[in-house]
Amino acid sequence: MISKKISITRDTFDQLILPVYNPVSFIPVKGKGSRIWDQEGKEYIDFSGGIAVTSLGHCHPVLNKILKNQSKILWHVSNVFTNEPALRLAKKLVSFSFASRVFFANSGAEANEAAFKLARYYSCKTYNTKKNIIISFYNSFHGRTFFTVSVGGQSKYSDNFGPKPKGIIHASFNNINTVKNLINNNTCAVVVEPIQGEGGVIPASISFLKELRTLCDKYNALLIFDEIQTGIGRTGKLFSYQNYDVIPDILTLAKSLGGGFPISAMLTTKKVASIISPGVHGTTYGGNPLACAVAESVIDIINTKKFLSGVEKKSKRIIRELNIINKRFKLFTEIRGQGLLIGAVLKSNISCKINEILNFSFLEGVIFLTAGNNVIRLAPSLNIRERDIIEGMKRFSNALEKCLL
């Protein structure tokens, strides 16, 4: 029998949890806005946003109220039924995007899995079974299922699990000529992140995305935008594709969509969806009333001109603060990204490694992420307050003093 007074520490993780993660030494127990507190009561300013998930901060009062109200009405009904929160959310996603149809799931990987399956199914049904090749990009990341991790362009995540799915090839990101050398009449889809998040916060160029659209049209291939990390206000638009004047055939969302509650979505056109029939695909928890009620509220809050323009203002303030820090410490070669997905690229000759910089930052009470081997990634809540930005950057500067000087 487990004691009611069981001690919960970082060591508990090592004793009980499959070691696919390596969590930091402290355990967060409370969050409010862009600040969290650990078991000892220490406060941290959070520039990680749960890896671009807590789009409205921790424990947003409106989301709390919506979740509490929905929990008293209906939790789960399965896909034998539909439900009102799912239909309301779908209507808003369709109204505000290029799409005509929505599929709800639980995670970014599930949304991408559905997108890749749909692309192959559509192409095989519409053209022929040989039209099944998916083109992705090196350093991309599309999820952790075996299919999605194989489509992703980082072999370190897909090696040593046995034979990989066939029909997946990789081109070089932002290099259209490598795509031209690969694409042909057997290509069913090209999948691209508007900004490669895990790969180093690398934005796609407008010309690159427009030329991808042209090539897909030429070869009757579907263009898939993976907006798991960039969607729902992260780049200053509700959807990142709206920054480029390039319309995909399929788009995937997760992370910020639920503001911390697990939900994802795949959006597509009526034409592509027309070949689907009941039983072709599904998921037990997709369209869950609790998740959809919360996500609808997230959309309502974020999708206003004032809120989205605020994302741009906060982005400029953070970049300005990072440039001030860089002027003093000469730490970064480049600060890049869009909106509130920002990457600061470290110089190769600095005395501290990236993990040491993050650890010193934790000690000073500020939380960042990494992307790739040399990029500090910031993906804070979209409504992070200016005073939190200023205080967080002050703490970051203090951390760098102790790490580098």
Integer Cα distance of 264 and 257 in angstroms:
7
Q: pLDDT tens digit string along 231-249?
A: 999 999 999 999 999 999 9
Q: Which residue has the tokens 């200023």?
A: 390
Q: Are residues 192 and 337 in the same domain?
A: no
Q: Answer yes or no: is 250 a known binding residue.
A: no
Give yes or no: residues 242 and 374 share one domain: no
Q: How high is the pLDDT of residue 49?
A: 97
Sheet harboring 341-346: ordered strands across?
332-338, 341-346, 375-378, 369-371
Say how many domains are in the chain.
2
Does 388 show up as a binding residue in the annotation?
no
Q: Determine the pLDDT at residue 372.
A: 85
Is residue 1's pLDDT more than 80?
no
Instruction: Output the pTM of the full model.
Output: 0.96
Domain shared by 43 and 134, yes or no: no
Judge if 22 and 167 occupy the same domain.
no
Predicted confidence (pLDDT) at residue 387 exceeds the cutoff of 90? yes
pLDDT in tens, 10-23: 999 999 999 999 99
**pLDDT at 171 exceeding the cut of 70:** yes
For the cut 60, the answer to whether the pLDDT of residue 270 exceeds it is yes
pLDDT of residue 2: 42
Question: What is the residue type of 32?
Answer: K
Q: Is 227 marked as binding a ligand?
A: yes
Q: Are residues 147 and 296 in the same domain?
A: yes
The region of weakest confidence among 242-246, 264-268, 350-354 is 350-354
Which residue do the tokens 């034998």 mark? 80
Is 226 labelled as part of a ligand binding site? yes
Is 134 annotated in a binding site? The answer is: no
Q: How confident is the model at residue 6 (pLDDT cuts 50, 70, 90)?
A: low
Question: Looking at 251, 276, 302, which one is the last position of a domain?
Answer: 302
Q: Which two tokens stand for residue 101?
A: 């149809």
Length of the chain: 405
| Residue range of the domain that includes 293 | 74-302
Q: Is 283 annotated as a binding residue?
A: yes
Is the domain of 123 the same as that of 56? no
Q: Hunting for tokens 């040491």 — which residue is that?
A: 356
Half-sphere CA count of 37, side-chain side, radius 13 A: 8
State the pairing for strand pair 332-338/341-346: antiparallel
DSSP element (H, E) containing 211? helix 206-218
Look at strands 187-192 and 133-137 and give their pairing: parallel
Domain boundary among 249, 280, 302: 302
Residue 27 predicted with pLDDT over 50: yes
pLDDT of 39 above 60: yes
Q: Residue 161: which residues within 8 A CB-CB, separation 6 or more?
A: 146
In a domain, 396, yes or no: yes
Let me know whether 91 and 223 are in one domain: yes
| Residues 363 and 273 both lie in one domain | no
Asked if residue 68 is part of any domain, the answer here is: no
Judge if 280 and 370 occupy the same domain.
Answer: no
pLDDT score of 5? 56
